[in-house]
Amino acid sequence: MDLSFLPQLPFALSAPIMFGALLAAGLLAGEAANRYASLPRITGYALAGVALGPQLSGLLSSEVLHALSVLIDLSVGLIVFELGFRFDWAWLKRNRWLLVTAVAESLFGFGAIFGALAYFGFEPVLAASAAAIGTATSPAVVMLVAHELRAEGQITERALLFTAVNSVFAYVALTLLLPLLHIELQVGWLEALLRPLYILGGSLLAGAAACMLMLALARWLGKREDRQFVLLVAMVVLTVGVARSLNLSVMIALMTLGVLARNLDRRHVLMPLRFGYGGQLFFVILFVLTGAGLEFGAWATAAGLVATLLVVRFLGKGLAILLFGRLSGVRTGGAGLLAIALLPLSGLAVGMVRDTSELSPAFGKELAGILLAAVAISELLGPLATQFALRRAGEADPGARGG
């Protein structure tokens, strides 16, 4: 009998099988974390990733993770776009102290980490690069916890705004520091300058071009939420793809797209944005994959340093918000909650550390490991912090089944 119509076993794990399985695993882990441990669902997604990842079971190998990195970029792209789309210049104009607070929050966070690293004897340029990377709050965690809790109010809005500002700050600061690393490595001046210029300028241009195209198309499509939603996803995916192909920064390009879309749309052709269930798919995958990629290696050896960095970062940010927050209309007690909400380190740091390490092996293995360990710990605990802060601020919807 000819049984060749039957598949060869074991059959290959195709992309749809991987995608579906990750989605289901993340979903179930998120729900379980929420039901049985009152944890945010996001923590459950990330835990599922850790379990499947190379560090534990190895079901997801590093190669597979690398192959799936486009999914991470797409999800981060959607989130960063939304973050940018909520960034309102008009608000900063009406409330100048807000911009001061946001910038101070970034600077103080940077200064605190830099100071601690310098104290522990790290090279200034390395310490500054690490501090830049460490300043960023995770857009994904803050945005998704806010979504999950259906949180709304001043603390939530500011947490999102500050996250947008410190993410851009981190990326720009790091890009500007790179030439210094290059010079230490005695790479040519020209290359050292051109590289950051290309990345920043190119990402801005890509985002701006995508924005112009999107506005023109939206105008032609008219005010229909369903069509505009598809357009929006199309433009975000397209921009992510272009940024990847041209070796640009996905984060800066998508942030530019979002911010410009909000602030250049003078004719108001764009409808308000709701990602809804569609976005949820990407976000589950994002956290599962981020979880799988987490590295706890340095945690064992440098727990004290990692913890110190997280604490001084919190204190730096908290101090800035405490000093200027009141002037920008943060209510009493709000500064502390805001600083807690901003605790989650950005998963973008993983990419930044890799980029930097590739460029400069001098970016000490130790320092990279410490940052990655800090990211790992805060990917898991960060959502709890943000959730606690938004709940405590009374901005979570009591009816929303958050963690």
Partner 1 sequence: MDEMDFRPSAAISLGVELELQLLRAHDFDLSRGAGDLLALLEKRKLPGAVKPEITESMVELNSSVHRHHGSLRDELAVMRDAVVKEAGVLNLRVAGGGSHPFHDWADRRIFPTGRFRSILERYGYLAKQFTVFGQHIHVGCPSGDDAVYLIHMLTRYVPHFIALSAASPFYQGEDTLFQSSRLTSISAFPLAGHMPFVRDWAEFLEYYDKMRGFGIVASMKDFYWDIRPKPEYGTVEIRVCDTPLTVQRAALLGAYAQALVAYHLQERPRAPARAVYLVNSFNRFEASRFGCRGELVEPYESRRKKIGADILETIETVMPHALQLDGADALTELAADVRHGYSDANWLLECHTVRGSLPDVVRESAARWSGTPPDAR
Interacting span for partner 1 (CB under 8 A) from 20-28, 242-250, 323-331, 375-383: 323-331
Nearer to partner 1, 350 or 393 (CB): 393
Q: Is residue 333 a contact residue for partner 1 (CB under 8 A)?
A: no
Q: Binding partner 1 by CB under 8 A: which of 271, 302, 320, 389?
A: 271
Chain-centre distance for alpha carbon 317: 17
Interacting span for partner 1 (CB under 8 A) from 60-68, 270-278, 370-378, 382-390: 270-278
Nearer to partner 1, 63 or 268 (CB): 268
Long-range CB contacts (within 8 A, 24+) of 297-306: 297/369, 297/372, 297/373, 298/366, 298/369, 298/370, 298/372, 298/373, 299/373, 299/376, 299/377, 301/369, 302/366, 302/369, 302/370, 302/373, 305/120, 305/370, 306/370, 306/373, 306/374, 306/377
Name the nearest CA neighbour of 239 among 84, 67, 68.
Answer: 84
Q: Is residue 272 a contact residue for partner 1 (CB under 8 A)?
A: yes
Nearer to partner 1, 123 or 265 (CB): 265
Residue 17, classified by CB atoms within 10 Å of its CB into exposed (0-12), middle (13-18) or buried (19+), is: exposed
**CB 228 → partner 1: shortest distance, Å?**
10
**Which residue in the block uniquely carries the two structure tokens 């459950």?**
44
**CB 157 → partner 1: shortest distance, Å?**
6
Query: Segment 136-195, which members bind partner 1 (CB under 8 A)?
Result: 150, 152-154, 157
**CB 229 → partner 1: shortest distance, Å?**
13
What does the CA dihedral 366, 372, 375, 377 come to, rounded to 10 degrees? -80
**CB 399 → partner 1: shortest distance, Å?**
8
**Which residue in the block uniquely carries the two structure tokens 């973008």?**
348
Q: Binding partner 1 by CB under 8 A: which of 58, 201, 222, 278?
A: 222
**Residue 396 in 3-state DSSP?**
coil
DSSP 8-class letter at 397? -
Tell me, by CB under 8 A, how many residues bind partner 1.
Answer: 28
Query: Segment 39-98, which members bind partner 1 (CB under 8 A)?
Result: 85-86, 88, 90-91, 94-95
Nearer to partner 1, 147 or 182 (CB): 147
345, 376 Cβ separation under 8 angstroms: no
Q: Is residue 401 a contact residue for partner 1 (CB under 8 A)?
A: no
Contact positions vs partner 1 (CB under 8 A): 85-86, 88, 90-91, 94-95, 150, 152-154, 157, 222-223, 262, 266-268, 271-274, 328-329, 331, 395, 397-398
